[in-house]
């Protein structure tokens, strides 16, 4: 687990830090912000997942992942690759879908979420990997006044995985940019449209390494196209404050947050974060919809880490902790994400600070068909031709098939779906369809579908028609 990587700690005051961290020169990304950069969000199409060998995952999870997507596996040498091959073959995994990435493995080689690179698209549809300076972990209190570091100068054999992202980029044959800031993957969520969230520790960590808040924001804007960065209060009394151990961004407008019992030591801290989230607006200018999942204690008052889950295309992988609440957690996920196949995996190695999401990272599809949409308000004003706008980008470059760019809708309760062909709307990536023949008071269900000439086919929501959007006309 992440905590066990650092058995010795030393306190460092932010006001007078005595440790000197290497500060590389700020590099200019190949494409500045006006190029319309966009970081892929976790729920977007992936072609594979990134894991490390030797495994720190249950074999059942790796088998399930290997049946659906390619496995990109970091190994430190040929001997470990051979061991991995034998294991995967014995488990029935198709070895033609396993890609071995030889690299110098660090102490946290299996925590691919933290050191793995981010997928970034520019306005021309070009794909590159962008990663940050992954050196070590800071610990912080909920108040965030001091950081606790495990400096290598103490002689602890901590090795960063700073070469592994290069191995990923080389294997995928795509450009890679390394930014000088810390941006540990477990402590940041991107919505795919220029908004990011992390805990306050992200700022404190970079400040300790010589970057002001404004410098950090400038680098993130130029490297990722992020124009809005929400910093949430720290929630652990002492810990790495990683956001994926507290919450999950389900889509651009919904956030799932853990809910401990009211008498738990972290209850007040977590509810403070929820209060902070309730004051924020998402990329569409509306308050986030805050959803909750119950996370009871399971070991020495440690909270079950059900938010540390992974979305891989149309499946959701959830850590299980061997307690009765596991079944309730799976049902919560199914209720919130209709149409997704929700799978639970128990493992003795899961913890409150390092679970499934920490150890598996998506390899996003460079040729994805990307769809996004601002939904109407839950109660919308009726009009005779109600417009719904879709943003669609075919990153394969093959082009969309106009005849299969559709809005599909029906009044709730009816069996028959109505299909409306979408028309260009404003620019090359926006399309509009109109719903007609409705009456005030009706609740409507709808989804979009699109197909590109490259053979990519997507719906929005991705699980439609099992999962749909809905709103009521007033």
Please state, rounded to an integer, the average pLDDT across all residues of the chain.
Answer: 90
- Is the domain of 29 the same as that of 84? yes
**Same domain, yes or no: 316 and 421:** no
Question: Do 105 and 118 reside in the same domain of the chain?
Answer: yes
Does 286 reside within a domain?
Answer: no
Instruction: Name the phi and psi angles at 467, rounded to 5.
Output: -115, 130
Backbone angles phi, psi at 358, to 5 degrees: -65, -25
Do 305 and 411 lie in one domain? The reply is no
Question: pLDDT tens digits for 267-294?
Answer: 999 999 999 999 999 999 999 999 999 9
Does one domain contain both 123 and 219?
yes
Q: What percent of the chain has pLDDT over 70?
A: 91
41 within some domain: yes
Q: Say what the pTM is.
A: 0.91
User: Which pLDDT score is estimated for 17?
Assistant: 31
pLDDT(14) > 50: no
Residue 128 pLDDT > 60: yes
Position 79 scores a pLDDT of: 98
Query: For residue 327, what are its two tokens?
Result: 């079944």
Range of the domain at 400: 369-473
Q: Does pLDDT of 35 surpass 90?
A: no
Quick check: is 159 in a domain? Answer: yes
Single out the residue in 347, 364, 381 at which a domain terminates.
Answer: 364
**Which domain-ending residue is among 341, 364, 387?**
364
Q: Do 314 and 348 sit in the same domain of this protein?
A: yes
Could you tell me if 349 and 407 lie in one domain?
no
Q: How far apart are the C-alpha atoms of 364 and 142, rounded to whole Å?
A: 33
pLDDT value, residue 431:
98
pLDDT tens for 366-403 read 999 999 999 999 999 999 999 999 999 999 999 999 99
Number of domains, the chain: 2
At 16 the pLDDT is 29
Q: Do residues 352 and 430 share a domain?
A: no
What is the domain-level CATH number for residue 204? 3.75.10.10
Residue 318 φ then ψ, to 5°: -120, 135
The per-residue pLDDT for 158 is 67
CB 364 within 8 A of CB 335: no
C-alpha span between 342 and 64 (Å, rounded): 12
219 and 101 housed in the same domain: yes
pLDDT digits (tens, 9 = 90+) for 282-334: 999 999 999 999 999 998 889 999 999 999 999 999 999 999 999 999 999 99
Amino acid 12: pLDDT? 31
Would you call 85 helix, strand, or coil by DSSP?
helix
Q: What is the CATH number of the domain that holds 466?
A: 2.60.40.10
CA–CA gap between residue 247 and residue 413 (Å, rounded): 33
Whether residue 288 is contained in a domain is answered as no
Mean pLDDT within 192-196? 96
Query: For residue 21, is pLDDT > 70?
Result: no
């Amino acid at each position: 687990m992440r905590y066990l990587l650092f058995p010795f700690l030393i306190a460092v005051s932010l006001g007078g830090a005595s440790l000197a961290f290497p500060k590389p020169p700020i590099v200019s990304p190949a494409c500045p912000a006006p190029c319309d950069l966009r970081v892929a969000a976790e729920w977007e199409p992936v072609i594979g997942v990134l894991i490390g060998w030797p495994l720190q995952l249950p074999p059942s999870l790796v088998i399930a992942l290997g049946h659906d997507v390619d496995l990109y596996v970091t190994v430190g040498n040929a001997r470990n690759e051979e061991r991995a091959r034998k294991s995967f073959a014995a488990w029935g995994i198709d070895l033609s879908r396993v890609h071995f990435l030889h690299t110098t493995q660090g102490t946290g080689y299996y925590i691919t979420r933290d050191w793995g690179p981010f997928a970034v698209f520019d306005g021309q549809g070009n794909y590159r990997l962008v990663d940050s300076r992954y050196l070590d972990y800071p610990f912080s209190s909920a108040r965030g006044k001091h950081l606790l570091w495990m400096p290598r100068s103490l002689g602890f054999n901590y090795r960063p995985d700073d070469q592994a992202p290069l191995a990923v980029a080389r294997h995928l044959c795509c450009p890679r940019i390394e930014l000088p800031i810390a941006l540990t993957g477990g402590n940041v969520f991107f919505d795919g449209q220029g908004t990011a969230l992390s805990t306050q520790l992200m700022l404190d960590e970079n400040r300790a390494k010589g970057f002001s808040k404004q410098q950090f924001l400038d680098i993130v804007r130029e490297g990722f196209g992020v124009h809005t960065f929400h910093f949430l209060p720290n929630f652990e009394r002492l810990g790495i404050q990683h956001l994926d151990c507290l919450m999950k961004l389900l889509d651009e407008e919904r956030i799932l947050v853990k809910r401990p019992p009211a008498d738990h030591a972290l209850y007040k801290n977590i509810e403070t974060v929820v209060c902070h989230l309730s004051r924020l607006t998402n990329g569409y200018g509306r308050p986030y919809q805050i959803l909750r999942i119950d996370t009871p204690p399971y070991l020495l008052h440690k909270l079950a880490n059900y938010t540390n889950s992974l979305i891989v295309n149309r499946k959701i992988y959830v850590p299980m902790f061997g307690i009765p609440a596991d079944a309730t957690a799976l049902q919560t996920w199914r209720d919130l994400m209709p149409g997704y196949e929700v799978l639970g995996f128990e493992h003795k190695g899961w913890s409150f600070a390092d679970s499934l999401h920490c150890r598996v990272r998506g390899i996003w599809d460079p040729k994805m068909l990307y769809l996004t949409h601002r939904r109407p308000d839950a109660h919308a004003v009726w009009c005779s031709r109600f417009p719904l706008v879709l943003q669609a980008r075919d990153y394969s470059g093959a082009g969309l098939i106009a005849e299969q760019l559709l809005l599909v809708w029906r009044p709730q309760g009816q069996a028959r779906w109505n299909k409306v062909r979408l028309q260009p709307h404003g620019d090359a990536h926006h399309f509009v369809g109109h719903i007609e023949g409705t009456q005030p008071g009706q609740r409507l269900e709808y989804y979009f579908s699109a197909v590109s000439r490259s053979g990519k086919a997507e719906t929005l929501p991705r699980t439609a028609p099992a999962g749909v959007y809905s709103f009521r006309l007033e």
